[in-house]
Amino acid sequence: IHHDLSPHNHNIPSPAPPIPSTNGPSSIHTSLDDHVVPYKKMVRYRECLKNHTAAMGGNATDGCGEFMPSGEEGNIEALNCSACNCHTNFHRKEIEGEPSSRDCYHSPQHINRIG
């Protein structure tokens, strides 16, 4: 095994020098007004879709029409519905600005007619 004990020359590129601005002393502004806050979409949980008879091969929901949190926002209790006691995951999620399953419709040409 041969080990080279001579020092190695590594070329490390330096960053490019700043380009002077022609718009005055500085063309870069950093203030709170320049920062854009992303738009947070509103999420609502609608009717409960939990199938209470799935183990027996049936399909029955409890009729809960909209999620109502059991506790204060930020608490674990807020994830359960006070009306049906189900978790938010069982409720239909509706996101503002996105199409939901209720917005879909079938045109007459896709409906099979008998007779």
CA-to-CA distance for 100 and 45, rounded, in angstroms?
12
CA-to-CA distance for 105 and 50, rounded, in angstroms?
23
The whole-number pLDDT of residue 23 equals 58
CA-to-CA distance for 85 and 91, rounded, in angstroms?
11
pTM given for the model: 0.52
CA-to-CA distance for 48 and 63, rounded, in angstroms?
7
- Of 103, 98, 82, 89, nearest to 45 by C-alpha is 89
The whole-number pLDDT of residue 51 equals 95
Q: What is the pLDDT along the chain (115 residues), one digit of tens a residue?
A: 655 555 555 555 556 556 655 555 555 555 555 666 677 789 999 999 999 999 999 999 999 999 999 999 999 999 999 999 999 999 999 998 887 665 554 444 444 555 4
The whole-number pLDDT of residue 108 equals 46
